[in-house]
A and B are shown apart, each in its own frame.
Chain A
């Protein structure tokens, strides 16, 4: 099941005009497994990390990538980056939204909470004209990227609930820009990345140490930036994860109690039928349970 999963990053390259041939899935370098606050049955997003990730998205990613399915109001919703509504409104007001005025003429107005994040390009063609390939929309990116787990790991993943392949891959990818090894034929428009399938990625290294300032004393390194922005992208792709896991725990407890009660009810109901078999096995019926 997980085994059948492909590496998606290829699509990004292909989508854009086939600068490179997608590599075989097996050739992808496995990204290191990172610790995420939102992994496991009690996982929660770390609001401070999401706020840092949002800062990187806003100052770096959003210059080229769209995130059309996330609205400013989402920033202030529970289980997310934890901005106040006033803060989210201020962020929105900084954005310029294309709209029509009362007379039907196109205008640009300040954003409101209800607006979705504006895109840097009017369409994919315009984006491709600038970048060679259109940078993918980031709304579902963290769930659209993965890597082969292979047998037997994908079986273990059912029990360990390892679902963070997407953020692991994105964080690895963002730190994976290196000089190509000798003999690697890198096209002029490509960039070498250790973790990208086929290693030839269209995006230049987007982050440098110290590029984005942090107010909370968190180290301003590419490794830290990568982690923070990957966490933010996971939230953008799965904004109700915290609620999902919280309800999941309640439902699981309920079902275990229900199954337990049903088990004992079943035993009680069937006792009359099963008793003869206990007698047959030489037990005193008065000593049998229930």
Chain B
């Protein structure tokens, strides 16, 4: 997308078309000739995997929507109708439900990679912030999709999450009533969640286009964190990146298929096979696994308002890390201290995920607080200070040098 396209169509028709709408040149410069660092590892295939998962979710979702009824008395039954009577409806639904989990798994790997290799740093700040926006939209979309099933956990998750807004002083209760479209989670709530669950994936797709655009302006980061300096440092997107992405996408699909066909309900909650019942509170209300770390942060703080602020801050803080990280060296490969703090942070995230599934009592509360403090300290204290105090390892002169060794 950067620079003038060198694309020369062969056929007369394509030449005619290209003069009027240069979409061929756009595709050629973005996905064929686009130079990509030669030293990318398999963690860089997750961008392609995420685009693929978004496509899967939209396609299965559109077909599911043809069979789904967004009404409190019929939603659960219509989902079961899909499972029982729609041809391959069980496949569509399990692809969609497990697809959400795979989508989040891929996005977490994608984000961990970005933080490890410093992909958010200058000149990729906007690229990174667009990613944070996509992640926020994904969370909203995933949550509303989970509610559509209208099982017990759907209903109570909707109640708990919308109630978070009641913590806002003064206007909180009014906002919650407005969100619900009534005085409790009910049919208006289900209807608007359905509408938004259908809308947001297309908003995500739009931001993804911006994300890829920004990527192709700044160029990809790479494991060394130094910019390509000559043609020797890069290879063409096609065939090199396409075939590598394609291979790992196939590997990822094996994992996906394992869940869909053999353990489709492993990541779900058994309570969600009980139709929603506002009169019965489940013994414990837990969100889907991908929200658990944030749920743990929320519950680690005894004050509701402060808990909600911490919950939202834990995501918003990501948008500021291009400026919180003061180090001039991007990749953790050359940052011995950052590397250790990073892995501790990964442990804190996974630990919070585990704690989010536990009852908030005893040792679990204390651990949640320790991990929550570390989660924020990593961004707000460690990142700014490390840039000043850390002694980094010497960087290679170029990407080719790091790949071929100093001799070449």
Residues of B within 8 A of A119 (CB): none
Segment touching A, from B113-121, B251-259, B379-387: B251-259
Residues of B within 8 A of A15 (CB): 277, 279-280
| Bound Cα distance from A256 to B254, whole angstroms | 7
| Residue among B254, B267, B289 with most chain A CB within 10 A | B254
What sequence of 0s and 1s flags, for each residue 56-79 of chain A, a beta carbon within 8 Å of any chain B beta carbon? 000000000000010000100000
* B residues 66-111 in Cβ contact with A at 8 Å: 77, 80-81, 83-84, 90-91, 94
Residues of A within 8 A of B246 (CB): 262, 266
The answer to whether A178 has its CB under 8 Å from any CB of chain B is no
Q: Is the interface of B mostly helix, strand, loop or mixed?
A: helix
Do A240 and B90 contact each other (CB < 8 Å), given the known contacts A161-B263, A273-B240?
yes
The answer to whether A174 has its CB under 8 Å from any CB of chain B is no
CB distance from B207 to the nearest CB of A (A): 28
Number of residue pairs A-B, CB distance < 8 angstroms: 151
Contact of A248 among B84, B250, B262, B277 (CB under 8 A): B262
The answer to whether B204 has its CB under 8 Å from any CB of chain A is no
Segment touching A, from B19-27, B138-146, B188-196, B268-276: B268-276
| Bound Cα distance from A236 to B132, whole angstroms | 43
Contact of B404 among A139, A244, A269, A280 (CB under 8 A): A280
Residues of A within 8 A of B284 (CB): 4, 6, 25
Residues A262 and B80 in contact, CB atoms below 8 Å apart: no
The answer to whether B265 has its CB under 8 Å from any CB of chain A is yes
Nearest chain-A residue to B81 (Cβ)? A69
Residues B240 and A4 in contact, CB atoms below 8 Å apart: no
Residues B270 and A146 in contact, CB atoms below 8 Å apart: yes
25 A-B pairs with CB atoms under 8 Å apart are: A5-B269, A6-B284, A11-B282, A74-B84, A136-B274, A140-B80, A141-B273, A143-B270, A143-B273, A163-B263, A197-B283, A240-B90, A244-B91, A248-B261, A251-B257, A252-B257, A252-B258, A259-B247, A265-B243, A270-B243, A273-B38, A277-B403, A277-B404, A277-B405, A280-B408
Please report A residues at the B interface, Cβ cutoff 8 Å. 1-8, 10-11, 14-15, 22, 24-25, 41, 69, 74, 136-137, 139-141, 143-146, 151, 157-158, 161, 163, 165-166, 197, 237-240, 244-245, 247-249, 251-252, 255-256, 258-259, 262-263, 265-266, 269-270, 273, 276-277, 280-281
